[in-house]
Amino acid sequence: MSQAIAPLPDVDHQAAHFPDGLALDCGAVVAPLTVAYRTFGKLNAKACNAVLICHALTGDQYVAENHPITGKPGWWENIIGPGKPLDTDRYFLVCANVLGGCMGTTGPRSEMTDAAGRGLGRPWGTDFPSVTIRDMVRAQKRLMESLGINRWLAVIGGSMGGMQVLEWAATYPEAVYAAAPIATAAHHSAQNIAFHEVGRAAIHSDPDWQGGRYWEAGIIPAKGLSVARMVAHITYLSEKALTRKFGRRLRGASALTFLEDVFEVESYLRHQGSTFVRRFDANSYLTITRAMDFFDLAADHDGDLAKAFRGTATRFFVASFNSDWLFPTSESRTLVRALNMAAANVSFVEIDSDKGHDAFLLEEPDFHRALGGFLAGCAERLGV
Amino acid sequence: MDGVQYVAKNMRLDLRLIAEMIPHDARVLDIGCGDGALIEYLAREKRADARGIEIDMAQVTKAVSAGLAVIHGDADNDLAFYPDGAFDYVVLSRTLQAVEKPREVLRQLLRIGRHAIVSFPNFGHWQMRWRLLWGGRMPDTETWNRPWYETPNIHPCTITDFTALCALDGYAVERWLAVDDQGLRAPWRRSLRLANMFGEQALFMMRRAGSGS
């Protein structure tokens, strides 16, 4: 590591505070609990037009506005806004940073507290308790109550966001009228855990990680975190998308050399890695990837996924993308079959796209039409 | 299907005949639902809890975009994942002849539904018999319009074949109709033998023998 990049800038995030904290699956209690969130559109008088958007591993609550750190547009801005599938003239959209995250919600970067909730003057770091997807959902439930919402019109999310959607539907079915798990699965596969482990190993092997106490020296394990991001980024794309974007093109070099950054795809990945470390905390990355790895909805219901949804009145919209090999269609189909077994009301589309897992964030008109139509149908039934 | 006539509400005439058979407030699964015309009609006009399965992704996307509960799947592979008696009516229109295992599909229909409504093109129609007898080649008609080497219709049957299978597997035929290609009712309602000769399409409503209606 040649040079440490300055630790993440401090930004004031809009947040709800819960002094009594949150009891976690692991037995620990995190108090106080802070949930940073953003809203878009207006909650109607009957509070029945609220839609929760759950973000993915490295996403955050800045879903439809410029990011306060990177200045980039929101990660789902292409489907949010007046007249768009997530119509801000019709729906009240809520997006919260997940528990364990690093954009204002309680996580490894927050000040560590003792059992009585007293601040200890240092970040949690690796002492932050391990969290689960269900813990993330419980934190969102607290936010929901504080906003005066009894039932979401819909809970929507892709990838890890989709895991939260499934957990919402399984844990609080009466609070979810419609659920849209997208490009996701009811458990994290061995292959996915393996890729996460490569990322974690990269962070651990960076000397600047300092056993997780990098904040003491005012540095971050930029190299390790950036390699973790590079590996992960490959899994978000398809072979076809990489070929289309970069092929075997060289970066201006006329002959092959052994220098770094020979191929354009290398330079692209490096760029992804280096920009990522400016907005994401390494210990958050470790915490959240673990939460995903632990996720196994069937295991929480005697190994029977259908049991998680038995008797549900929630309407489901399941979507997958045929070039997604991180959360392949077969996972969505397994989910759909379990939902059918539970006699749930399900829509399921497999979208034809060559963009891989990332397709759920990109311009996919069929997907957007289907999601928008599903949501509009639900809204119509509820009289929104 | 090519050459199908559309009427008001954009629904095929044979689907209108099926819709007439289904009472209000029923739980319905339409297998091979296309763009969802039948389930949309049933949901709107008969307050049905209507769902669909369709194999053609473009049709699925269209149906889901219209707010209908349709999943991408097919009769051969997806029916096994529904619980017993999940639906009052399970509809399989113009699809039976194209599935891999028609007998198993019928078994599944009557496992997950109290009633099954099945329509299929009748291979016993006189034109088929005539063309095979005199031309000596696989029939090429408006209904059976694909050459043998690329037809998706791998399990054609006649009306008599179908009733024989129903008898063999213990399904009681509650109603039946033979209709012409546009789905208009045909006059040979009393005789299955005549229907098997002159009906281009057949429409059956069954239940498991011994089970109440």
Q: What is the pLDDT of residues B171-191, one digit of tens each?
A: 999 999 998 766 666 767 788
In angstroms, the CA B57 to CA A115 distance is: 54
Pairing between β-strand A176-182 and β-strand A315-321 as defined by DSSP bridges:
parallel
**Which residue(s) pair with A263 in the sheet?**
A250
B positions 46-75 inside 8 Å of A (CB): 49, 51, 57, 60-61, 63-73
Query: Would you list which residues of chain A are within 8 Å, Cβ to Cβ, of chain B?
Result: 315, 317-318, 333, 336-338, 340-341, 343, 345-352, 366, 369-370, 372-374, 376-378, 380
Provide the number of CB pairs (under 8 Å) joining chain A to chain B.
66
**CB neighbours of A85 closer than 8 A, spacing ≥ 6?**
A79, A368, A369, A371, A372, A375
- Which of A320, A324, A332, A358 does the annotation list as catalytic? A324
pLDDT of residue A3: 36
The predicted-structure confidence for B50-69, as pLDDT tens digits, reads as follows: 999 999 999 999 999 999 99
The strand ranges marked E within B34-98 are 49-54, 69-72, 87-93
**Res. B21: pLDDT tops 80:** yes
pLDDT of residue A259: 62
CA angle (A46 as vertex; A45, A51 as ends), nearest 5: 100
- Residue B132 pLDDT > 50: yes
Query: Quick one: how far is CA A304 from the chain centroid?
Result: 25
What is the complex's ipTM, to 2 decimals?
A: 0.90
Q: How confident is the model at residue B6 (pLDDT cuts 50, 70, 90)?
A: very low
CA distance A105 to A143: 11
Q: What is the mean pLDDT of each run of 10 residues along chain A (384 residues)?
A: 52 95 97 97 97 98 96 97 97 98 96 92 95 98 98 98 98 98 98 98 97 94 97 96 92 64 89 95 98 97 97 97 98 97 96 97 97 97 92
* Bridge partners for A345 per DSSP: A315
Distance, in Å, from the CA atom of A79 to the CA atom of A86, rounded to the nearest integer, reads: 6
Is A20 one of the catalytic residues? no
Residues of B whose CB is below 8 A from A341: 81-83
pLDDT at residue A256, rounded to an integer: 59
Nearest residue in A to B84, CA atom: A341
The predicted model scores a pTM of 0.93
Which chain A residues are Cβ-neighbours of B51 within 8 angstroms?
A: 345-346
Judging by beta carbons within 10 Å of its beta carbon (0-12, 13-18, 19+), is residue A213 exposed, middle or buried? Answer: middle
Distance, CA of A165 to CA of A158 (rounded, Å): 9
Query: Which of B66, B72, B82 has its CB closest to that of A348?
Result: B72
CA dihedral B8, B12, B18, B23 (to 10 degrees): -30
Distance from CA of A372 to the nearest CA of B (A): 7
The answer to whether A187 is a known catalytic residue is: no
